[in-house]
Amino acid sequence: MFICGRLQLRDSGAAEDTVQDTLVTALEKHDAFARRSAFETWVFGILKNKLLERLRQQRRYVADIQQRGNGGYIIDAQPDHDMANPPF
């Protein structure tokens, strides 16, 4: 789960937080698991939704910073390395 989150978010801390949020949600909502799929599939579905939510929040944050101008600096959420060759 962490590797999936890290590849999508390009940030280890954010990936850890998202995986933790996923596991907490899965524990809180375990009664909603309808057993129509494997448990792992259900949890990864929760992870996918959490990752999409986090990515949307990041895009909104970057767009907000760019609109304000931030004193002439543009803050970009792009990593300074190529994800084809991750630094880990």
Q: Are 14 and 53 in contact, with CB atoms under 8 Å apart?
A: no
- Burial class from Cβ neighbours inside 10 Å (0-12, 13-18, 19+) for residue 71 reads exposed
The pTM of this model reads 0.68
If DSSP codes are grouped into helix, strand and coil, which group holds residue 57? helix
pLDDT digits (tens, 9 = 90+) for 10-45: 899 999 999 999 999 999 999 999 889 999 999 999
pLDDT at 58: 83
Judge whether residue 74 has pLDDT over 60.
Answer: no
| Across 56-81, average pLDDT | 63
Cα distances (Å, whole numbers) of residue 37 to 15, 17, 52, 54:
25, 25, 21, 25
pLDDT at 28: 96
pLDDT band at 88; cut points 50, 70, 90: very low
Judge whether residue 63 has pLDDT over 50.
Answer: yes
Q: Are 9 and 54 in contact, with CB atoms under 8 Å apart?
A: yes
Judge whether residue 82 has pLDDT over 50.
Answer: yes
- All structural domains of the chain, each given as residue ranges with its CATH number in brackets, are 2-67 (1.10.1740.10)
